[in-house]
Structure 1
Amino acid sequence: MSFDTWLLYLFAVLLISISPGTMAVLSMSHGMHYGKTRSLATALGSVTSALILMMASAAGLGALLSATEYGFSILKYCGAAYLIFLGIKLLLTKATGQGLDLQHIKSKGTPKNMFKQAFMVGISNPKDLLFFAALFPQFIDISAPQGPQLAILAATWAVIDFSFVMMYASMANVLAPSLRTSNKLHWFDRTSGAVFIALAAILVTREN
């Protein structure tokens, strides 16, 4: 892989990552509630799921899902169901009446649970599997060993993905103190919940 090809890939990944999606909403919610440090677990969960999907694509599962509508539909509906589950949890957030205590909220989140949520959101989207299967061949030189090239593409994606998850979490964390005293943090949760449910609806109604 030439340096010019890698730069083109880097530019494509940046454009993809800068567009807010499901993981951006989740990372903002985690950053708002649990802070930037704990959101490292969210970023690691997102990166781990992406790396697994990349390996699955390299193994040919992306092509298999493209040809098997039934398998694709199962994964799609499972992913939508999990998004709806997260959305309902956020929609049921209640105000305390005395303002939200950010430190108390932070104590409820564990890195394990945050990692699990991010991982499940990432791994349950078959669109990502197909995306990697379609994206990687565009930047691989078939005349050269493919293993090192795939490693470079995967590492580049992981760094960018990790950086953007932390960026969204940090941006949300900056807003947390003002929302804590104004008792409006539950409205952020409800908005995030509505976005999750809307994304689930889009997922199940879009054409494959």
Structure 2
Amino acid sequence: MQPETWLLYLFAIVLIGISPSPIAMLSMSHGIHFGKMRSMATGLGSVSAALVLMMASAAGLGAIISASEYGFTLLKWCGAAYLVFLGIKLLLTKNQGQTLEVSQLKGKGTPRQLYQQAFLVGISNPKDLLFFAALFPQFIDLAAPQLPQLMILAATWAVVDFSFVMIYASMANVLAPSLKASNKLHWFDRTSGGVFLTLAAILISRN
């Protein structure tokens, strides 16, 4: 994998990681109620769920690559189109007064409980599977072995994902009031939409 390709991928997933999500809200809840150290289990649960979805996406991607190079090219364009769709959808999001609540949590907050909660939140979002299927082909070079490239993409995502879970958990008391404000959530959505559109434009221009 070329360094510039990896840097583009890193830039994209860091900006994606900044955006509020169910796992971000769960991380803040765990950080507030159970502390930063125990929230490491939350990060591991989130990473585990993401890796399972990545492997599922990679398996489907591998089958397409084996079947036809043209199919892989088609998948890349479909993936870019999906990123454009996400971007436009987020840009057109209207401020409807929605809020994100950091709820009270049940249980004693054992590492096992926190891990299970994070894993279930991550694995229960089928949109992530579709997202990985759209994102990964944009950074795969068919002229090079695919497995090492997929391992690099997965490992990078795991590090960034775990880092953001810990950041949210560590700064929960500061971030929670800010992200609960509906007007700020609205602008988070628009910023995320701009990120997706910019990413899609860059990836299409590179094809």
Query: Shorter chain as normaliser: what TM range?
Result: 0.5 to 0.7
Q: Give deviations 1:144-183, integer Å, cap 9, x for gaps.
A: 000000000000000000000000000015789xxxxxxx
Deviation at 1:59, TM superposition (A): 1.0
Name the structure 2 match of 1:66.
none
Name the structure 2 match of 1:11.
11
- Alignment gaps of 5+ in structure 2: 64-99, 186-207
**Preserved contact between residue 47 and residue 158 of structure 1 (Cα < 8 Å):** yes
Q: CA RMSD in A?
A: 3.0
Deviation at 1:108, TM superposition (A): 1.8
What is the TM-score of this pair, normalised by structure 1? Answer: 0.62
> In structure 2, do the counterparts of structure 1 residues 119 and 168 end up closer, same or farther at CA, with 3 Å as the change threshold?
same
Which residue identity is paired with 1:130? L
Name the structure 1 match of 2:2.
2
> In structure 2, do the counterparts of structure 1 residues 121 and 106 end up closer, same or farther at CA, with 3 Å as the change threshold?
closer
**Preserved contact between residue 33 and residue 106 of structure 1 (Cα < 8 Å):** no
Q: Distance in 2 between matches of 1:136 and 1:175?
A: 30
What is the TM-score of this pair, normalised by structure 2? Answer: 0.63
Matched length: 143
**Preserved contact between residue 35 and residue 173 of structure 1 (Cα < 8 Å):** no
- Alignment gaps of 5+ in structure 1: 64-86, 94-104, 177-187, 196-208
Name the structure 2 match of 1:135.
135
Q: Distance in 1 between matches of 2:49 and 2:157?
A: 12
Structure 2 counterpart SS, 1:108: coil
Matches within 5 A, 1:12-27: 12-27=12-27
The alignment-based identity, stated in percent, is 72
**Preserved contact between residue 43 and residue 118 of structure 1 (Cα < 8 Å):** yes
Name the structure 1 match of 2:79.
none
**Preserved contact between residue 168 and residue 175 of structure 2 (Cα < 8 Å):** no
Name the structure 2 match of 1:48.
48
Q: Distance in 1 between matches of 2:16 and 2:54?
A: 16
> In structure 2, do the counterparts of structure 1 residues 55 and 124 end up closer, same or farther at CA, with 3 Å as the change threshold?
same
